[in-house]
Amino acid sequence: MKSTWDKWVQEGNDKRKAVSDAQRKLGDARGMAELSLSRPNGATVDASTLDVEMATKEVLMSASVRPPNGQPATKNLKAVLMRAKAKDASGKELSGR
């Protein structure tokens, strides 16, 4: 009986953790979409009411950097650019920055 109870408790904990992780990921993605769709000095867009798709692109670049020791060096950097594309309830398309 105890092993069944322990298994049931562990399964419940695993489910709660999975839900918590999914909610965190959704919140992070919603924040990125709202940042992309909002305009500077304008109203913040509520991404939860829109059909949003995030587009990403990796960009590789070479940059001259100066570390604390003062010797300049060339480093290869990778940036991930994200942009939201959305449709509101009326079907109007919105493009993010």
Average pLDDT over residues 43-65: 83
In this prediction the pTM is 0.53
In the chain, how many H helices and how many E strands? 1, 3
Give the distance between the most distant pair of CA atoms in the chain: 67
**Token reading at 39:** 């305009």
pLDDT tops 80 at residue 50? no
Per-residue pLDDT at 3: 87
79-85 average pLDDT score: 88
Number of domains in the chain: 1
Task: Tell me what pLDDT residue 62 has.
Answer: 94
CA angle, residues 84, 85, 87, in degrees to nearest 5 = 130
Residue 56 structural domain: 2-95
